Amino acid sequence: MMISSAWRERLAALPSPFSALFNEKPRNPWGDGGGSGGNGGDGGPRNPWEVPPGGKRNPKPSALDEFIRRARGGGNGGGPGGGLPRFPGGRAPRNLGLIGAGLIIALWLVFTCFHVIAPQQQGVIASFGRYSGTLDPGISVTLPAPIQTVTKLDVQQTHVDDFPKAGGSQNLMLTGDQNIIDLAYAVRWNISNPQDYLYQIAQPTETVRATAESAMRAVIATVTFDDVISKGRNDIEQRVQDQMQAVLDRYHAGVRVIGVSIKQADPPADVIEDFKKVIAAQQEAVANSNRASTYAQQVIAQAQGEAKKFDLAYEQYKAAPEVTRRRMYYETMEKVLANTNKTIVEAPGVVPYLPLGGTKARVLPAPQAGGAQ
């Protein structure tokens, strides 16, 4: 830069037509900033970044300037670019956050303080996890969670447990007469004490199932196979229900056993065909025994009737022997001749030839006096 200035001075000192070129000062393309018009007074173009003549810019801001001003909070946030941005409506995000937090708290209070208990339900109140009361059906108010929580239980619903479960395998048990039986049954129960149901046992449903299976096996071990499949079912069901209720009461389970019903009692699947044959033979034997007993009763009744009839005839014979003897003879002959073909010939003549074979009983007219038959 120093070298170019020295050479310029030397060339300007020389008399030459180029001296005017080197003596001219370098010009700014936008002017020197002096004079009116902002073009240095030399008529050059005006600097677009300088204040226009009169010292005023465009008084009407552009859309971009308006958007930036609104985004900066209208210049009220402590200077340009200061403060939090505002949304349409003039509310800052801080105020919206407070409103949202208030709504969340209000909803939390509504859903954790007000409780609607249905007619078939009861609500169990726990204060920091400890039982503190029971709510009856209706609308109730408690402290918000997690200070107090409410667990709703349906105390009128009847729970049904099937043994074995749907799609399960055989449920084999040993009877008192050392037979194996495949037993299917159901247990019905409901909740009697919500407090005990929630806090006395950890798994109430599994406890009820285990108690039912234990009680059923204990009762089946004291009865015979025939009792289970026929006449003893009602007694077995009642005994199982009583034993279950006694065990659950000792556990303070808060459960009431409504009933037990045996749905199926069969021998194991491996021997069921042979068992059916045995049952059929037993039924046939019973039927034959019943028929024989019926026939024996009929014969005995007939013999007793004949004996009684003979006793009556003997009494009459003792009173009038001749008359009774003759009457008995006539009655006997009447019975003998009642079903035989007979030909009766009246006196005084007798036909020399009688076609006895195939003849019908008939009475021949008496012959005329002095005539031949």
Same domain, 143 and 166: no
**Of 154, 183, 215, which marks where a domain is finished?**
154
Exposed e or buried b for every residue in 72-95, given b needs 16+ CB within 10 A? bbeeeeeeeeeeeebeeeeeeeee
pLDDT of 371 higher than 70: no
pLDDT of res. 1? 47
Same domain, 166 and 142: no
Q: Is residue 373 part of a domain?
A: no
Tokens representing 357 are 């074979």
Lowest mean pLDDT among 168-172, 184-188, 199-203: 168-172
Q: How far apart are the first and last CA of the chain?
A: 198
pLDDT of res. 254? 95
Residue 30's nearest CA partner among 47, 48, 51 is 47
pLDDT of res. 355? 58
Say if strands 343-344 and 362-363 run parallel, antiparallel, or are unpaired.
parallel
Same domain, 169 and 226: yes
Domain tally, the chain: 4
pLDDT per position as a tens digit, 279-305: 899 899 999 999 999 999 999 999 999
Q: Is residue 361 part of a domain?
A: no
Distance of alpha carbon 293 from alpha carbon 62, whole angstroms:
122
Residue 317: φ, ψ to 5°: -65, -40
Mean pLDDT score of the chain: 79
Q: Which residue has the higher pLDDT, 109 or 3?
A: 109
**Of 213, 236, 266, which marks where a domain is finished?**
266
Lowest mean pLDDT among 21-25, 109-113, 268-272: 21-25
Q: Is residue 43 part of a domain?
A: no
Same domain, 175 and 224: yes
Q: Write the single-letter amino acid at 140.
A: S
DSSP string, 335-348: HHHTTS--EE--SS
Tokens representing 363 are 């009475």
184 with 213: CB under 8 angstroms?
no
**Of 266, 289, 311, which marks where a domain is finished?**
266
pLDDT of res. 49? 57
Tokens representing 164 are 């074995």
pLDDT of res. 288? 95
Same domain, 201 and 253: yes
139 with 172: CB under 8 angstroms?
no
Strands (E) in 246-309, as ranges, are 255-266
Distance of alpha carbon 235 from alpha carbon 208, whole angstroms:
21
pLDDT per position as a tens digit, 59-100: 566 666 777 777 665 544 444 444 445 545 555 566 888 888
pLDDT of 9 higher than 80: no
pLDDT per position as a tens digit, 25-45: 555 555 554 444 444 455 555
CATH of the domain at 223: 3.30.479.30
pLDDT per position as a tens digit, 219-273: 999 999 989 988 889 999 999 999 999 999 999 999 999 999 999 998 888 888 8
Question: What percentage of the chain reaches a pLDDT higher than 90?
Answer: 42
254 with 207: CB under 8 angstroms?
no
Same domain, 255 and 200: yes
Q: Is residue 282 part of a domain?
A: yes
Same domain, 34 and 131: no
Sign, Cα dihedral of 36, 39, 45, 50:
negative
Same domain, 239 and 259: yes
Same domain, 261 and 186: yes
Q: Is residue 19 part of a domain?
A: yes
Q: Is residue 359 part of a domain?
A: no
Instruction: Over range 146-173, report the average pLDDT.
Output: 90
pLDDT of res. 373? 40
- Element spanning 219, H or E: helix 204-220
pLDDT of 318 higher than 60: yes
Segments forming the whole domain that contains residue 258? 159-266
Q: Is residue 345 part of a domain?
A: no
Q: Is residue 258 part of a domain?
A: yes
Same domain, 191 and 240: yes
What are the C-alpha distances in Å from 213 to residues 50, 70, 117?
Answer: 99, 76, 34
Distance of alpha carbon 160 from alpha carbon 169, whole angstroms:
19
Same domain, 253 and 278: no
Exposed e or buried b for every residue in 295-317, given b needs 16+ CB within 10 A? eeeeeeeeeeeeeeeeeeeeeee
pLDDT of 150 higher than 90: yes
pLDDT of res. 198? 93
Tokens representing 128 are 């920091």
Say if strands 148-154 and 130-135 run parallel, antiparallel, or are unpaired.
unpaired
Same domain, 260 and 296: no
